[in-house]
Amino acid sequence: MEVLNDFELTDDIIEEMLSLRYDEDVDTTENAEHMENFLRLVARHDMETIELSKKMIIK
């Protein structure tokens, strides 16, 4: 597990997390663009995986 030394899960942060609520008004455009890019790369990665998986012979 990755544990960053300079990060501490303080009570304040936990409280903030617990108080998070779904917000219909949040602008998700930036996230959406990022996700689109991410999924495009994943799709290409998956295609590459399929092609490579045909070549690796297990015995």
Partner 1 sequence: MYRRYTSFDDMIRDESLKKVKRVIVDNFSYHISRVKSNIFFVEDYIESEWRDIYSIYYSKLNKTISNSTKRIHFISEDIDDIKLISDTNYNGYITIRPIGGKLSLSRVRLRYDCSFYETKAMDVIEQKTVVNFPHISISYDSFPFFRQDGMVTVCAHADIHMLIKTMHKRHKFNHYGITNILKKINNNHGRDIPSEGLSMNDMVKALKERGFNPLITQFKKGKYILQDGEIEIEKYSILDFLDSMIESALPVILAYDGHVIILAGISKIEDKYLFFDDSGAHLSKLDGDGSNFSKLISKSEILEKLSFQQEEAFVLVPTFKSFYFRYKTLLEILITDTKYSRFFQSKKRILLVQSSRVKQHLNYIGIEELNSTLLPNYVWFIEIYKGDKVSVVCLVDASEHQHIETIPFIYSKDENGQKAEIFFRPKIELEIKLLKEVS
Is residue 12 at the binding interface for partner 1, with CB under 8 A as the rule? no
Is residue 17 at the binding interface for partner 1, with CB under 8 A as the rule? yes
For the chain, report the end-to-end CA distance as a whole number of angstroms. 32
Q: Which two tokens stand for residue 14?
A: 């936990």
Residue among 38, 42, 39 nearest 50 (CA)? 42
Is residue 18 at the binding interface for partner 1, with CB under 8 A as the rule? yes
Q: What does residue 3 show for φ and ψ, rounded to 5 degrees?
A: -130, 120
Is residue 58 at the binding interface for partner 1, with CB under 8 A as the rule? yes
Binding site for partner 1 (CB under 8 A): 1-4, 7-9, 13-14, 17-18, 20-22, 26, 28, 31-32, 34-39, 41-42, 44-45, 48-50, 52-59
